[in-house]
Amino acid sequence: MIELRRIHRFFGSTKAVNDVSFEVYRGQVFGFIGPNGAGKTTSMRILATLELPSYGDAFVDGFSVVNDPDLVRRRLGFMPDGCALYPNMNCVEYLDFFARSYGLIGRDRTDALRRTLRFTGLDKIAAKPVTGLSKGMRQRLSLGRAMIHRPSVLILDEPANGLDPRARIELRHLIRQLAEEGTTILVSSHILTELAEMCDQVGIIERGALLAVGSVDEIHRSLQGALRVRMRLVDRADELCEFLSARDDVFRIQRDGLCIELELSGGDKAQSQLLRAIVQAGYDLLEFAAYRDSLEDVFMRITTGAVQ
Amino acid sequence: MSGATPTPMVSLADTVTQQDAGVAVEHTEAVRLLLDGESRWDQRLIHWSNWLNPILVKETRQALKSKQFIWTFYLLILIVIIWTLLAIWSSMPNIYYESDGSVFLTGYLLILLIPAMIVIPQATFRSMASELDDGTYETLTLSLLRPWQVVFGKLTVAMLQLIIYLSILAPCIALTYLLQGVTLESIAAVLLILSTTSIALCTVAILLASLSRTRTLQVLFSVIMLGLQLIVAGMTLSMIFSMLAIGTLGNQGWTSVGLGTLAMAAYGWLFMLCASSAIGMASENRSTPIRIALFAIGMVIPMCGGFLLVFYSGQMGASNGQYYDYGPDYGEMVALLANLTCVHWGIAGAWLMGESGVITHRARRTLPASFPARLFLTWFNPGAGPGYFFVVLSFIGPLVALITIPWILHRSMDSSNVVMHVGSMAYCAALTAYLALYLGCVRLLMLVVFRKRRSQRLLLAFGSTFVLILFSIILSCSASLYVGQYRDMEFLWFCFINPFWSLTEFFPYSYQSSTVGMSGINGGEKLMAWVWLMISSGIVFVINAIFASRDVMVTRIETPQRVLRERTQLLPEIEPEFDQL
């Protein structure tokens, strides 16, 4: 389990992270979204014990990153954005070094290495020098390094960077698979559609502050009126617009010919009440569809694009 | 491993479909060879390597593939062969009846000097600096490797390289002994000096590299390192030549070599501790282990000095027909030892004054708890406040012993010796006062002016000390020149702010003066300066004591039971694997 409690991180007068708090439970995938320079990487680095917070604390399985970073590191695998590699080593030597560094010896180490090489698909290029790897392969190696000691918490900073579409899809499945097996995962990415599909929760961060946190639906609901309704009529679209504008739960009505789009506050019940009211008022509907904002829409609505 | 989760076996592997079967088999074979070995010996070696420092294993693998090592290795063999053939050719036919061993050995040592003094320390510096520069150190940090394992791993790699280079030269050095002209004693001594100096340089390289967090610092330290290497190489070379010229070292020679090796080992250890602190966890108590090492060295210097003092004065006395003859030399030696100790504590103190006064919860768990422990060990607590008192008190302690013990032991004290001892005491008091004054001023400066500064505080404190002393020198000299109407520059009472000038004036013995008491603090302006020095340092000391009261009030906090439980559970699993250098 991960818990961030009122984390602040200042670099001079810049507030890289400003009062960020959230929790991720065992087996959950938490997506961290934000524009460049929003504070995602800093938050992740604090959680990975690479940086100290200026104020506040973060906990991994109940152990503080400030006071017990050694205990946190046992449980944590961190895949940073950009993989730093050692020259004059091949893939298996690289992973072997980190297996040794995590205290794996004998059979445990060889098992861990075989498992990781196979898992990341590096077993077929194991003897290749690491400096000659493509970006995608480097990402795999970095992922392998992060998970060689079977951590209970995995922090992945832009893991899909440089991966081809097929590898991305597989990575998504991998992350879900790891989560189902109990690994808590914190992942950041710019590819929001991917995050929406694999994350149980998302946190939207901008200028160091957490603007929204929860499942995509929860965030959607918290942004009042975010349920969009689209309808197509046989005729009398003008009259229906007037009819709808008189209602308190409807706003942002837009008309395009016989098509009307609007935003409706409330949930499914409000939707059915609206449909009933329209039909009872005698309007002939050809289509009536309600849909939620995508994660991209939510992101665009919440963030302003401001940088610090 | 706690928090373990089973990992799926099939996933991204399927995406590497473009690999043809042959290449895949080749790679699988490479994995098998690396993990399981081919022969029983391979398996044993792999098994033994479990207990080696992972850094040593990694760097050895890298070195065996690196061009730098391979080039140096083969070049060294080539040069050694060329020199051997050249030396034999030039010595023919006298080689059959003359002792030419020293000529050959000189050549071999000159050849060895380049890898030992230049290549290995530079490679060590680059290796450590590139970890920080390339970001690989962060991935290391995340593992369970402790900082001291990282730095000692780097040092063992340097030692391994040195052993390899020495092994190349071993048959040649054996040849020099067979050729005669050099004793085994000389060969052992020069190799010991060369090896310890090379390793000492590597410790400096690791320390400087661990401190160079920015590009600018890295370039600066790289230049400093290279300069230091050249100076040390030159000094070592001259020392080796003089030793070879003398032939046998004798007791004095071996004592000097032994003490030099001890000093290099002690400071090397300190540098390694500092380096591991520099790359360690920020919330850790990184100060106390360094202070313990500083304290130990601060005790060893006067002890070794005292030993030398007795040793040499004994020899000198024996030649005069008296064994313990505490003449004027004793005062001079005490003053010289005090100077050495003062340099040690001055440099250490200048760094310590940069320590932040904020003690993390993690560090507070390690503070002394009982009354006696708090009474005697509070000065080892992190922070500039306790650090100030730690430095001043640690300096005074051995000095008092050095002055009083022989004085008590000495039975027939004549009046000249009494004067000498008073002079020594006054001189040592002046040194203590300077330490208290300048470090106190730097501490106040850090406390008031640079209070909010969070990064590079240690470098800032060190730089501030340097600037403060420089400023005081310029000020005192200018003022003295002004009073002397730009013609004379006499030592006047206000020149007490200039430590170097004042200490030269206060020095209790002079080779020019045959009468004891003519030099040192003999009244007039010198006495005034001495008194002013005592007053001003006393004031600074008291102000610092007031400010430090808050720092010494910080108490220990208990480690949470859950953390203790976790550590106890992990201990048997981890310790055998990681208690390795």
Q: Select from B1, B68, B578 the residue whose CB has the most chain A CBs within 10 Å, as the one to mutate to test that interface.
A: B1
pLDDT for A79-96, tens place per residue? 988 778 888 898 999 999
Higher pLDDT pick, B374 / A294: B374
State the nearest Cα–Cα gap between A233 and chain B, in angstroms: 49
Distance to chain A for B455, nearest Cα, Å? 10
Cβ–Cβ below 8 Å for B143 and A66: no
A-B CB pairs within 8 A amount to: 202
Q: Which residues of A touch B144 (CB under 8 A)?
A: 70, 73-74, 101-103
Please check whether residue A14 touches B, CB under 8 A.
Answer: no
Backbone phi, psi, residue A254, to 5° = -130, 135
Q: Is A78 on the interface with B (CB under 8 A)?
A: yes
Contact in structure between B101 and B179 (CB atoms under 8 Å) = yes
- Smallest Cα–Cα separation from A124: which of B29, B514, B358, B58? B29
Structure confidence at residue B55 (pLDDT): 93
For A55, nearest residue in chain B (alpha carbons): B360
According to the model, what pLDDT value does residue B26 have?
62
Nearest Cβ partner for A119 among B7, B23, B65: B7
Binned average pLDDT, 10 residues per bin, chain B of 581 residues: 41 44 62 73 81 91 86 90 89 74 87 92 92 85 89 94 91 85 85 93 95 86 94 91 77 81 91 90 85 90 71 50 47 77 92 85 85 85 90 88 67 54 81 94 90 80 93 93 85 89 78 47 80 94 90 83 78 43 31
> Mean pLDDT of all residues in chain A?
86
CA dihedral angle for residue B335, residue B338, residue B340, residue B345, rounded to 10 degrees: -160
Measured distance CA(A195)–CA(B30) in Å, rounded:
37
Asked whether the beta carbons of residue A183 and residue B5 sit closer than 8 angstroms, the reply is yes
What pLDDT was estimated at residue B478? 92
CA B307 to chain centre: 21
pTM of the full structure: 0.81
Structure tokens belonging to residue A23: 């929790």
Give which of B2, B7, B45, B136 to mutate to test A binding, by max A Cβ within 10 Å: B7
Top residue of B5, B33, B577 to mutate, by most chain A CBs within 10 Å, is: B5
pLDDT at position B81: 92
Selected residue of A54, A70, A130 to mutate for chain B interface (largest B Cβ count, 10 A): A70
Contact of B28 with chain A, judged by CB distance below 8 Å, is answered with: yes
Q: Is B409 on the interface with A (CB under 8 A)?
A: no
For chain A, positions 107-126, list CB contacts with chain B under 8 A.
109-110, 113-121, 123-126
Contact check, Cβ <8 Å, A102/B1:
yes
Check pLDDT > 90 for residue A97: yes
| Pick from B31, B36, B54: CB nearest A123 | B31
Interface test with A, best of B12, B15, B66, B453 (most A CBs within 10 A): B12
* CB proximity B34 to A under 8 Å: yes
Q: Which residue of B has its CA nearest to A62?
A: B562
Cβ contacts of A297 within 8 Å, gap of 6 or more? none
Q: How far is B126 from chain A (nearest CA, A)?
A: 13
Comparing CB atoms, the residue among A118, A151, A182 nearest residue B9 is A118
Three-class DSSP category at B11? coil
Using the Cα atoms of residue B19, residue B20, residue B21 and residue B23 in order, give the sign of their dihedral.
negative
Q: Is B21 on the interface with A (CB under 8 A)?
A: no
Q: What percent of chain A has pLDDT over 90?
A: 25
Q: Does the CB of A87 have a partner CB in chain B at under 8 Å? A: yes
Q: Does A267 touch chain B (CB under 8 A)?
A: no
> In this structure, what DSSP letter does residue B98 have?
S
Cβ–Cβ below 8 Å for A127 and B66? no
Top residue of A51, A92, A124 to mutate, by most chain B CBs within 10 Å, is A124
Provide, as residue numbers in chain A, all residues whose Cβ is less than 8 Å from the Cβ of B3.
61, 74-75, 150-153
Distance from CA of A126 to the nearest CA of B (A): 5
CB contact under 8 A, A127 and B31: yes
Give B359's contacts (C-beta < 8 A, 6+ positions apart).
Answer: B285, B367, B381, B382, B383, B554
The per-residue pLDDT for range A15-31, each reduced to its tens digit, is 889 899 999 999 999 99
Separation between Cα atoms, residue B264 and residue A145, nearest integer Å: 38
At B194, which helix (H) or strand (E)?
helix B184-211
- Give me the half-sphere count of Cα atoms (radius 13 Å) on the Cβ side of residue A4: 30
Tell me, yes or no, if B57 comes closer than 8 A to chain A by beta carbon. yes
A15–chain B nearest CA distance, Å: 15
Question: Does residue A215 register a pLDDT over 80?
Answer: yes
A40 pLDDT above the threshold of 80: yes
Looking at residue B535, its amino acid is: I
What is the per-residue pLDDT for B557? 85
**pLDDT tens, residue by residue, A155-187:** 999 888 777 788 788 888 888 888 988 899 999
What integer pLDDT is reported at residue B514 of this predicted model? 43
Cβ–Cβ gap B3/A151 under 8 Å = yes
Restricting to B residues 110-169, those with a Cβ less than 8 Å away from any Cβ of A are 134-136, 138-145
Look at B13 and A66 and tell me if their CB atoms are within 8 Å.
no
- CA nearest to B145 within chain A: A101
For residue A84, list chain B residues with Cβ-Cβ distance below 8 A: 134-136, 138-139
3-class state of residue B178 by DSSP = helix
Is B136 within 8 Å of A85 when comparing Cβ atoms? Answer: yes
- Number of other CB atoms surrounding residue B316 within 10 Å: 14
Helix B415-448 to helix B524-552 angle (10° resolution) is 50
pLDDT in tens, A47-79: 999 988 988 999 998 899 988 888 999 899 999
The answer to whether A1 faces chain B, any CB pair under 8 Å, is no
Task: Please judge whether B144 and A70 are an interchain contact, meaning their C-beta atoms are less than 8 angstroms apart.
Answer: yes
* B26:A127 CB<8 A: yes
Output the pLDDT for position B11: 46
**Residues 158..197 of A with a Cβ closer than 8 Å to B: which?**
164, 166-167, 170-171, 173-174, 177-178, 181-183
Closest approach of B55 to chain A, Cα-based (Å) = 8
